[in-house]
Chains A and B, each alone.
Chain A
Amino acid sequence: MTETINGRTTLTTPFTEEDIRALRTGDVIYISGDIVTGRDDVHIRAVSEGMDLPAEIRGKALMHAGPIVTGSAEDGYSLVAIGPTTSMRMEKLEYDFIKKTGVRLIIGKGGMGKRTAEACREFGAVHCVLPAGNAVFTALCTEEITDAGWLDLGMAEAFWSIRVRELGPLIVSIDSSGKNLFEEKKKEYASRKEEQLQKISKRLETIL
Chain B
Amino acid sequence: MTVEEKKNRLTDIMAAFIGYTAVHLPDDIVSKLEDLRDAEDDPAARSIYDMMFENMRLASQLGRPSCQDTGLVQFKIECGSRFPLIHQLKDILHDAVIKATAETPLRPNAVEPFDEINTGNNTGTGAPALFWDIVPDDESCSIYTYLAGGGCSLPGHAMVLMPGDGYEGVARFVMDRITSYCLNACPPLLVGVGIAGSIETAALLSKHALLRPAGSHNPNKKAAEMEKLLEDSINAVGIGPQGLGGSSSVLGVNIEYSARHTATIGVAVSFGCWTHRRGHITFDSDLGFITDTHAGFTYGL
Q: Which residues of A contact B (CB under 8 A)?
A: 65-68, 70, 80-83, 85-88, 109-111, 129, 131-140, 154-157, 169, 171, 181-182, 185-186, 188-190, 192-193, 195-197, 199-201, 203-204, 207-208
B118 is an interface residue with CB less than 8 A from chain A: yes
**B19-53: which have CB < 8 Å to A?**
44, 47-48, 51-52
Residue numbers in A under 8 Å from B243 (CB-CB): 110-111, 182, 185
Q: Pick the residue among A65, A109, A196 that contacts B242 (CB under 8 A).
A: A109
Taking a contact as CB atoms under 8 Å apart, the answer to whether B229 and A136 are in contact is: no
Q: Pick the residue among A68, A157, A189 that contacts B237 (CB under 8 A).
A: A189
Taking a contact as CB atoms under 8 Å apart, the answer to whether A80 and B64 are in contact is: yes
Closest to A203 in B: B229
Closest to A83 in B: B68
What 1/0 flags go to B204-248 for Cβ under 8 Å of A?
Answer: 000000000000000000100110011001101111011111000
Residue numbers in B under 8 Å from A132 (CB-CB): 67, 151, 186, 242
Taking a contact as CB atoms under 8 Å apart, the answer to whether B184 and A192 are in contact is: no
Taking a contact as CB atoms under 8 Å apart, the answer to whether B180 and A186 are in contact is: yes
B285 is an interface residue with CB less than 8 A from chain A: no
Some 12 contacts from A to B, beta carbons below 8 A apart, are A66-B68, A68-B107, A109-B151, A135-B65, A135-B66, A136-B58, A136-B66, A137-B51, A154-B111, A185-B243, A204-B229, A207-B225
In the assembled complex, the Cα of A70 lies from the Cα of B106 at a distance in Å of 10
Residue numbers in B under 8 Å from A136 (CB-CB): 55, 58-59, 62, 64-66
In the assembled complex, the Cα of A169 lies from the Cα of B44 at a distance in Å of 11
- Which of B73-81, B129-137, B166-174 is found at the contact surface with chain A? B166-174
Q: Which residues of B contact A (CB under 8 A)?
A: 44, 47-48, 51-52, 54-55, 58-59, 62, 64-70, 105-109, 111, 118, 120, 150-151, 154, 166-168, 171-172, 175-176, 178-180, 183-186, 222, 225-226, 229-230, 233-234, 236-239, 241-245, 273-275
Q: How far is the CB of A36 from chain B (nearest CB, A)?
A: 16
Q: A131-B241, A136-B64 are in contact. Are A200 and B229 (CB under 8 A)?
A: yes
In the assembled complex, the Cα of A200 lies from the Cα of B274 at a distance in Å of 25
In the assembled complex, the Cα of A114 lies from the Cα of B290 at a distance in Å of 51
Taking a contact as CB atoms under 8 Å apart, the answer to whether A207 and B66 are in contact is: no
Known contacts A154-B118, A185-B245; 16 additional CB pairs below 8 A are: A68-B105, A68-B106, A80-B65, A87-B184, A109-B242, A133-B273, A155-B118, A186-B180, A188-B245, A189-B179, A193-B175, A193-B237, A196-B234, A200-B168, A200-B229, A204-B171
In the assembled complex, the Cα of A32 lies from the Cα of B180 at a distance in Å of 32
